[in-house]
Amino acid sequence: MASEMVASLGPFDFQPERELGNEYAAQLVSAPGEFTQTATPAGDVRGLGLNGYKTATNLVAYGYTALFRIPANLTLATGLTFKVYLTDDGANAVDLGKVVKIGLTIKRLAADATDDVDVSAATEVTASATLSSTSAGVSITSVAIANAALPASTAVGDLLLLRLRRIATNASDTCPGRPILLRVEVQNT
């Protein structure tokens, strides 16, 4: 049945793709808001910064990876829809209403499969996410991936590896600042 929740991935479900893993806390950033005397951000939310690396060739593919399982009791319909929740970092009003180009890559992890998302994964699907025109406003971008575009033999019960990255080198990416990834929801469509 369509619109069933497959997975809900928050900031702690993702790992930075290019870090050693021992500096994970540095990747969490506060959503917009001023700090109060108790040092609590007014935005009340933390997420992952999607920096716009444009100069270093080896950083172009920088992203975050997460694992999720398609429930075994699900009837997979026409594919999966990924709802990407973004906000601005509050540092510059120029970011508001700008486009962030994101890429999603899915890989099926079966027995003896490598965990390298660049090997035997489906083709990356890209989408343009427009940030809210209001500071601290949340934008939701839906990215549909049809069954035919999922990795071969993807079925219910499978464990999938997801890479989400910002493609700041794309001409459509007009956001000069750092958007914040708050959450990704995966739905059956």
Strands (E), 125-179: 125-130, 139-146, 159-166
Concatenate the DSSP letters of all residues of 96-112 into one string: TT-EEEEEEEEEEE-TT
Distances in whole angstroms, Cα of residue 115 to Cα of each of 33, 87, 120, 126: 37, 30, 10, 21
pLDDT above 50 for 107: yes
Band (40; pLDDT cuts 50, 70, 90)? very low
**Number of compact structural domains in the chain:** 1
In this predicted structure, what is the pLDDT of residue 54? 61
Return the percentage of the chain with pLDDT > 70, whole number.
81
What's the CATH number where 167 sits?
Answer: 2.60.120.260
pTM (2 d.p.): 0.88
Note down the domain range covering 172: 5-188
pLDDT above 50 for 142: yes
